[in-house]
Amino acid sequence: MPTTQPPQSKEQMEAMQKSMRTQMSYMFIMFLLAFVYIIPSVRQVVAIPGIYLLQPIIGFSFRYPLYTIFFAAIITGLVNTVARHFFMDYFKMAEVQHKNRKLSQRYREAMKNRNKSEMDAIRAEQSKSMTDTMQFTQQQMKPTFITLILSVLIFAWLIGFMYTVKASHFDIINSPFGPLDLMYLFHGFYMWIGFYSLFSITITYPTQYALKMFYLKKSVSK
- pLDDT string in tens for the chain (222-residue length): 444 444 555 555 665 666 676 667 667 777 777 777 788 888 888 899 999 999 999 999 999 999 999 999 999 989 888 888 887 777 777 788 888 888 888 888 888 888 888 888 888 777 777 777 776 677 667 677 778 888 888 989 999 999 999 999 999 988 887 888 999 988 878 899 999 999 999 998 899 888 888 887 877 766
25: in domain: no
Look at the chain and report how many structural domains it folds into: 2
208: in domain: yes
Contacts of 59 (CB under 8 A, 6+ apart): 68, 161
Residues 170 and 183 in one domain: yes
Count Cβ atoms below 10 Å from residue 160 Cβ, excluding itself: 19
Integer Cα distance of 104 and 97 in angstroms = 11
Name the strand (E) or helix (H) holding 211: helix 191-220
Supply the pLDDT for residue 52.
Answer: 94
- Whether 129 and 11 have beta carbons less than 8 Å apart is answered as no
Supply the pLDDT for residue 222.
Answer: 61
Residues 80 and 157 in one domain: yes
Residues 124 and 192 in one domain: no
CB burial of 64-79 (b: ≥16 within 10 Å; e: otherwise) equals: ebbebbbebbbbbbeb
Domain termination residue (choose one: 141, 176, 206): 141
11: in domain: no
For residues 120, 124, 125 and 131, what is the CA-based torsion angle, rounded to 10 degrees? Answer: 150
Supply the pLDDT for residue 123.
Answer: 81
Supply the pLDDT for residue 13.
Answer: 65
What is the reported pTM?
0.76
Residues 60 and 99 in one domain: no
Residues 121 and 154 in one domain: no
Q: Which residues pair with 190 in a beta bridge?
A: 185
9: in domain: no
Query: How does strand 172-175 pair with strand 178-181?
Result: antiparallel
Integer Cα distance of 75 and 49 in angstroms = 14
Supply the pLDDT for residue 11.
Answer: 58
Residue 173: φ, ψ to 5°? -120, 155
Provide the residue range defining the domain that includes 98: 91-141
Q: Indicate the burial class of 221 (C-beta count within 10 angstroms; 0-12, 13-18, 19 or more).
A: exposed
